[in-house]
């Protein structure tokens, strides 16, 4: 009986602590998260040195964060992706801190050329919410590093045909653009 009571108390304590982790900072970071994964998502906060603090530890592999106002980002910018992509995100943030698009592109191109570009997890999804917090523009991409139109069975590499298309074919940045999000 004691064991059962301790088990029930443990479950209640764990569930209460999960609900207690909802704060305005956590709620904002979860805006881009898909509903089925939102509850179990990890939430982090990026620091100036491109490391991060974990605000809420999750139970799945989704991680969400607020990039609003950071170098190269929109005033409102929320992103979620696989925890396995955090090295790539940190590298992107370092490059975007260069201050302008031409410098950032040069850094990205150099890293791509010398092989130091952090690769995203193949097939991982990136969920974005940007623009205005009240009515964010939602956008989703799927990482397919190294993919080409041919390797993906003829998926077009431009948006002219409508529908799904491949952007940045043949690079570590290759990703499927999903229209209508």
Contact 42, 58 (CB under 8 A): yes
- What's the pLDDT tens digit per position in 114-125? 999 999 999 999
- What's the pLDDT tens digit per position in 25-76? 999 999 999 999 999 999 999 999 999 999 999 999 999 999 998 988 889 9
Give the C-alpha separation, 87 to 79, whole Å.
Answer: 14
Confidence of residue 181 (pLDDT cuts 50, 70, 90): low
- What's the pLDDT tens digit per position in 37-47? 999 999 999 99
pTM across the whole model:
0.84
pLDDT score of 41: 98
Q: Which residues in 63-93 are b (16+ Cβ under 10 Å) and which e?
A: bbbbbeebebbbebbbbbbbeebbebbbbbb
């Amino acid at each position: 009986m004691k064991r059962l009571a301790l088990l029930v108390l443990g479950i209640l304590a764990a569930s209460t602590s999960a609900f207690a982790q909802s704060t305005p900072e956590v709620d904002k970071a979860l805006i881009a998260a898909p509903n089925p994964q939102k509850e179990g998502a990890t939430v982090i906060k990026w620091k100036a040195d491109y490391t991060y603090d974990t605000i809420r530890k999750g139970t799945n592999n989704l991680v969400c964060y607020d990039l609003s106002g950071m170098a190269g980002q929109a005033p409102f910018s929320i992103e979620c992706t696989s925890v396995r992509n955090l090295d790539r995100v940190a590298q992107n943030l370092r490059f975007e801190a260069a201050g302008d698009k031409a410098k950032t592109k040069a850094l990205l191109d150099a890293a791509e050329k010398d092989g130091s570009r952090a690769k995203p997890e193949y097939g991982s999804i990136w969920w974005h919410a940007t623009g205005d917090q009240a009515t964010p523009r939602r956008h989703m991409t799927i990482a397919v590093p190294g993919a080409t139109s041919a390797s993906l069975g003829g998926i077009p590499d431009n948006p002219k045909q409508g529908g799904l298309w491949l952007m940045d074919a043949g690079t570590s940045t290759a990703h499927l653009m999903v229209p209508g999000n």
